[in-house]
Amino acid sequence: MNVGLVVTVASGQVILNTTKSLYRRKIMKRIIFIITTIILLISMTFPTTVLAASMPTTTITSVKAQSKAFTVKWKKKSGITGYQIQYSTNSKFKKGNKSIKIKNAKTISKKITKLKAAKKYYVRIRTYKGKKYSKWSKAKSIKTTKESKCNKDNIQKETHCTNNNNHSIKCGNMGRWFNSRSELVAYYNSEVSKWNKKIDNEEITYDEYYKNVPSGYECWSCSYCGKWTGNLKHY
C-alpha cells in the first residue's frame, strides 16, 4: 500500500509539473507575440533613419555670416540623391535643431535665412540616398552679424519699392518713377514736344491738342528709395 501511495503521489506531481510547464509556454508565447506586434507598429509609425557605412560623406568647406542668415558651402559628392543640412544654437545638437534637405546632388551651397542677428549657430551636413544616410560631418560654428542701419534700409527698400504702388507715397499720373528730378523734367519736356509736333503736322485737332498737351507739372520723391514721380497738368 505504501508503494502504491508513493507512485500515485509521484504521478500527480508529474502531471502537475507538466500542466504548469504548458501554461508557462503559452504565457511566454503571448508575451513574445505582444512585444513583436508593438515593435512592428512602432517601426511602421516612426520610420527610423538608416545609417549606411558605405555612403560617401561630405565636409563643409566654408560658412559665411550675414545679418539674420549665413551661407554654407560643402564638397560635392556623386552616387547620392542629395544632402541634409542641420543647424542649431546648441553645440551638441541636443535641442532646437532644424534641418533642410537639398534634393540636387550637384548643389554645393545653401543660404540659411530667418535667423537671429548676432547669434552663434552650429551647422553640419550629411549625404543621403533614398532612406540611407551617411554620418554627419564635423560641425562648424558661425555667428550672424549685427543688424546695421544700412541693412534695415536695404530691407525697407526691398519690401516697399518693388513696383509703382508700394513706395512711401503714391505714384503720380505720369505712371512711373524716375531716378532723379531732372529725368522727370526731361520726360515732361518730351511730352510737350510730342503734342506740339502733332499739332504742327496737323495730325490732331486743337481740341485734342489742348486736352493732351501738358501745361505744367508737380512732382515728389519717395522717402525710401529717393526716386521721383509726379502729375502732368493740362489746360
Q: Which amino acid is at 159?
A: T
Cβ-contact 224, 156 below 8 angstroms: yes
Strand, coil or helix: what is 27? helix
> If pLDDT is split at 50, 70 and 90, which confidence band does 155 have?
low
> If pLDDT is split at 50, 70 and 90, which confidence band does 150 have?
low
Average pLDDT, the chain: 84
In this prediction, residues 18-23 reach a mean pLDDT of 66
| Residue 2: per-residue pLDDT | 42
Please, what is the Cα angle at 157 between 152 and 162, to 5 degrees?
Answer: 150
> If pLDDT is split at 50, 70 and 90, which confidence band does 152 have?
low
95: pLDDT strictly greater than 50? yes
d(C-alpha 222, C-alpha 99), whole Å:
40
4: pLDDT strictly greater than 50? no
| Strand bridging mode 50-51 / 109-112 | unpaired
Closest CA to 66 of 14, 131, 114: 114
The owner of cell 519736356 is: 189
Helix (H) or strand (E) holding 19: helix 2-45
In this prediction, residues 56-85 reach a mean pLDDT of 95
On the 0-12 / 13-18 / 19+ scale of CB atoms within 10 A, 134 is buried
Cβ-contact 131, 153 below 8 angstroms: no
In this prediction, residues 101-118 reach a mean pLDDT of 94
197: pLDDT strictly greater than 90? yes
| Residue 50: per-residue pLDDT | 59
210 vs 44 pLDDT, higher one: 210
Cβ-contact 140, 60 below 8 angstroms: yes
Strand (E) positions, 8-146?
A: 50-51, 60-66, 69-74, 82-88, 98-102, 109-112, 120-129, 132-133, 140-143
| Residue 165: per-residue pLDDT | 80
Q: What is the pTM of this model?
A: 0.46
| Residue 35: per-residue pLDDT | 84
Q: Which amino acid is at 191?
A: E
195: pLDDT strictly greater than 60? yes
Least confident of 21-25, 68-72, 81-85, 184-188: 21-25
In this prediction, residues 50-61 reach a mean pLDDT of 82
Distances from the Cα of 176 to the Cα of 15, 95, 100, 193, angstroms: 103, 51, 41, 19
Cβ-contact 122, 89 below 8 angstroms: yes
In this prediction, residues 59-79 reach a mean pLDDT of 94
In this prediction, residues 195-207 reach a mean pLDDT of 92
d(C-alpha 85, C-alpha 75), whole Å:
13
